Amino acid sequence: MYAMSQAFRLKQAIEDAVIAGDFLPGDRLDESSLAERFGVSRTPIREALLQLGAEGFIDVRPRRGAIVSVPTPTRLFEMFETMAEFESACGRLAARRLTPDHEAAIEAAHRGCETPAREGDSERYYEVNRQFHEAIYRASRNEFLAEQALALHKRLSAYRRIQLRARNRLVQSLQEHAGILEAIRAGDEQLAATRLHDHVLVQGERFSDMVLGLAGSGRPAAGAGKRGTR
């Protein structure tokens, strides 16, 4: 049965609050205030903030504590653009170097996405979606590339979750996974790279919708609409 730890649930709740605009860039995330807000002790709050700091979603500074760090839309687009290149490279190498064990791991993760996609459970889908992408990183058999891809994936985790809340995105994402798996299995390096690149890169209307989602408080995000029209 799928279950999340209290600290992980709090981590996601804090991410959502930051993205909704409840906290602004430069704001200090006070453990006591957050514990009161969420009705918990400071211990799981501290653990959640450590997780967010490790992923780069917030800055943890000496004598100042946890500070909100939210990228501008331009910076966010650049990060997704880089992520798409990392994943494209992983897909190309996975298609070239696929082993039966790695193929089975990618297949299992893809199958694991089916039920949450059908049920519209974006949170559960995100977790198994992460396993799908990580299986491809490992299948590249390039440890350094896999480490870099995983680090940026973690940095973008909150924003990748937001994307999955868009209408029909889960079903579309699952269909894209099937195409990616097909290309990797066929050993088609270029097709695997292209499909992964297009799957990850947020552009056009998808990027605009995500930026609007980041302005959940009703305030427009700084620089909204300037990118994502490629």
Averaged pLDDT for residues 9-34 = 85
Indicate the number of domains in the chain.
2
Summarize pLDDT for 69-111 with one digit per residue, the tens.
777 788 888 999 999 999 999 999 999 999 999 999 999 999 9
Looking at 51, 68, 85, the residue that finishes a domain is 68
For residue 186, pLDDT over 60 is answered with: yes
For residue 201, pLDDT over 90 is answered with: no
- The token pair that represents 198 in the structure block: 């297009």
Q: The domain that contains 96 carries what CATH number?
A: 1.20.120.530
Residue at 111 is within a domain: yes
Q: Are residues 127 and 52 in the same domain?
A: no
Summarize pLDDT for 167-185 with one digit per residue, the tens.
888 999 999 999 999 999 9
Looking at 44, 68, 92, the residue that finishes a domain is 68
Looking at 17, 40, 68, the residue that finishes a domain is 68
Residue at 223 is within a domain: no
- The token pair that represents 16 in the structure block: 């959502």
Cα angle: 201, vertex 120, 123; to 5 degrees: 65
Predicted TM-score (pTM) of this structure = 0.73
Three-state secondary structure along the chain? CCCCCHHHHHHHHHHHHHHCCCCCCCCEECHHHHHHHHCCCHHHHHHHHHHHHHCCCEEEECCCEEEECCCCHHHHHHHHHHHHHHHHHHHHHHHHHCCHHHHHHHHHHHHHCHHHHHHCCHHHHHHHHHHHHHHHHHHCCCHHHHHHHHHHHHHCHHHHHHHCCCCCHHHHHHHHHHHHHHHHHHCCHHHHHHHHHHHHCCCHHHHHHHHHHHCCCCCCCCCCCCCCCC
Name the residue among 181, 175, 111 with its Cα closest to residue 139: 181
Q: The domain that contains 36 carries what CATH number?
A: 1.10.10.10
Residue numbers of the domain that contains 113: 73-214
Confidence class for position 22, pLDDT limits 50, 70, 90: confident
Confidence class for position 61, pLDDT limits 50, 70, 90: confident
